[in-house]
Structure 1
């Protein structure tokens, strides 16, 4: 449990520079960090569900869907900053194993909002929300050892 606490609080065995140590340090206790992670993550899920419900609102529902769904995903992603700190989270997001999923996810956020507000294409907005979901899932699976490999193996065996 202590090792998990050290990793989640950003105190792993790596050598860190002074700037990283200052930016990663926080006066929040471990239990407070976990509580705020849960609150932020639950808020993100709630926003995503609320956005999905907004699809059935006749006037302006699509815009509300895109905004709430995107904000929900951003909140869920940002919630992990409470566990490991924002600098470490950003470093992990752009590691080579997560880079493609991170870029697809970030571009999907932007493109979803562009499709609704500037291009006025509802179908594209839904498509980009699907990309958000898939990229967020693939990104999240990268934190579980061998999960991506298991998914790939499952899909290749189903397609064969």
Structure 2
């Protein structure tokens, strides 16, 4: 209705910001849509990881396990982009406190897929999946204040 009033009154001065506003409104998700997209993406990711675990005992299952487990973890990680937005997620991922953990997670994603597709070594694929789990766990606890210190102390006391 406002557009019609502006067009009829000849007030076109705000047209450019109107286009920018329209584009921003079209690309911005509501909070409920973000929550729904997060849940769907996360559930699909977890389902793919579980499916990979079920395929573990199928013929060629170790390779399928590595692929589905990795793709499931990638989807689960991407699901958080819906909650905080992709740019905010990238800034937090590559913040000074967790940049090494982020790089390790991405390296393990790539190594797992390389071991599954290119090398086709089931044992190496499983090792990469385990290391991927450890890297993702270390990355995840970086979001909890002082959690890394607590884990280091826990494992330090276990090794003494």
Whether the TM-score (by the shorter chain) exceeds 0.5 is: yes
Q: Greater relative contact order: 1 or 2 (C-alpha under 8 angstroms, separation 6 or more)?
A: 1
The C-alpha deviation readout for 1:117-153, integer Å capped at 9, x for no partner, is 1112111111111111111111111111111111111
Distance in 2 between the 1:62 and 1:123 partners? 8
* Unmatched segments (≥5 aa) in structure 1: 1-21
Higher helix share: 2
Give runs of aligned pairs for residues 40-51 of structure 1, distance below 5 A. Answer: 40-51=41-52
Distance in 2 between the 1:152 and 1:42 partners? 31
Task: Provide the residue aligned with 2:110 in structure 1.
Answer: 110
Task: Provide the residue aligned with 2:54 in structure 1.
Answer: 53
Distance in 2 between the 1:96 and 1:124 partners? 31
What is the Cα deviation at residue 27 of structure 1?
A: 2.3
Structure 1 runs (4+) deviating above 2 angstroms are none
Which deviates more from structure 2 when the two are superposed, residues 31-40 or residues 137-146?
31-40
Give runs of aligned pairs for residues 1-160 of structure 1, distance below 5 A. Answer: 26-58=27-59, 60-160=60-160
The C-alpha deviation readout for 1:45-83, integer Å capped at 9, x for no partner, is 11111111111002x212221111010000010001001
Distance in 2 between the 1:150 and 1:122 partners? 34
What is the Cα deviation at residue 43 of structure 1?
A: 1.3
Q: Secondary structure of the equivalent of 1:80?
A: helix
CA RMSD of superposed structures (Å): 1.7
Number of residue-to-residue matches in the alignment: 137
Distance in 1 between the 2:117 and 2:61 partners? 12
What is the Cα deviation at residue 115 of structure 1?
A: 0.9
What is the Cα deviation at residue 26 of structure 1?
A: 4.5
